[in-house]
Amino acid sequence: MSATLQRFDVRGLACVVTGAASGIGLAYAEVMAEHGARVSLFDLNATGLQAAGQRLRAQGADVRTAVVDVTDRAALQAAFERSASAHGGLDVLFANAGIDAGPGFLTPGNERNPAGSLEGLDEAHWDAVIATNLTSVFTSLRAAARLMKPKGSGSIIVTTSNAAIINEAIVGTPYMPAKAGAASLVRQAAMELARYGIRVNAIAPGPFVTNIAGGRLRNPADREAFQVRVPMHRVADTEEIKPLALFLASQASSFVTGAQLVIDGGQMLGRVD
């Protein structure tokens, strides 16, 4: 193997993925497990978690699962500690769990949508999006910093979104500040943790077909509403995020920190009809 390819080696690394039962988090867990890392999968969804854990173990991976709600700070901290005891510390964290944005102030058909307007927004949904998509990133970063600092090394990857950078009318309003906040937290943590050998980066996806929002990108009308906003005129498969995850988790990205890597088929560049 070339010296360059060797830098992608993650064998034996202890890794935690939050929101690992489905979609992008499952892809992170799969790519790390396939390449020999020891992976702890955290998720609320016990059934999905069990299925993912069994499948990866059947392929010979050293995988544990923990049913945990990332918005429960004490439970999340305890899950990190149990995982570190079982896997000999923590080398890589994917802080990925996230929930649906809710309705945008425009429908995919470009109609005004009262349920997504500032006046109509459900306050409970606002609170849930901030708790899951932003505050849990802080809780996860803190737990990881506690475990990684004594080792003097580590890589933390946060799933943000291109919505951290560009606003989108058909995506729910609470998602924008939550993801922009997570992106800012990544940069702040990268500055603080660099001296301890810990790198912190973000992956900012555009539309990927997952189970988020009821798996709406599998629905042709919804998919088209997103595709027309993407210069590559398609949505993505979660397989496409795996190489980027491996890059950021490994020494292949040894001088990359505080970065937000966008993977969105050019959606950030603007609409091209």
For position 161 contacting ligand NAI by CB under 6 A, the verdict is yes
Of 13, 15, 16, 23, the residue at the interface with ligand NAI (CB under 6 A) is 23
CB 117 within 8 A of CB 165: no
Of 28, 80, 208, 247, the residue at the interface with ligand NAI (CB under 6 A) is 208
Of 9, 34, 62, 69, the residue at the interface with ligand NAI (CB under 6 A) is 69
| DSSP secondary structure string for all residues of the chain | --HHHHTT--TT-EEEEESTTSHHHHHHHHHHHHTT-EEEEEES-HHHHHHHHHHHHHTT--EEEEE--TT-HHHHHHHHHHHHHHHTS-SEEEE-------B-SB-TTS-B-GGGSTTT--HHHHHHHHIIIIIHHHHHHHHHHHHHTTTT-EEEEEE--GGGTS--TTB-TTHHHHHHHHHHHHHHHHHHHGGGTEEEEEEEE--B-SSHHHHGGGSHHHHHHHHTTSTT-S-B-GGGGHHHHHHHHSGGGTT--S-EEEESTTGGG----
Q: Which residues between 100 and 159 bind ligand NAI (CB under 6 A)?
A: 132-133, 159
Q: Which is nearer to ligand NAI, 14 or 131 (CB)?
A: 131
Q: Which window, 81-89, 94-102, 111-119, 189-197, contacts ligand NAI (CB under 6 A)?
A: 94-102
Q: Which window, 23-31, 103-111, 116-124, 144-152, contacts ligand NAI (CB under 6 A)?
A: 23-31
For position 81 contacting ligand NAI by CB under 6 A, the verdict is no
For position 53 contacting ligand NAI by CB under 6 A, the verdict is no
Residue 196 falls in the annotated catalytic set: no
For position 265 contacting ligand NAI by CB under 6 A, the verdict is no
Taking residues 212 to 241 in sequence order and writing x for each that binds ligand NAI by CB under 6 A, - otherwise, the string is x-----------------------------
Catalytic residue among 42, 80, 175, 208: 175
Residues annotated catalytic, as ranges: 175
By CB under 6 A, name the binding residues for ligand NAI.
19, 21-25, 43-45, 48, 69-71, 96-99, 132-133, 159, 161, 205, 207-208, 210-212
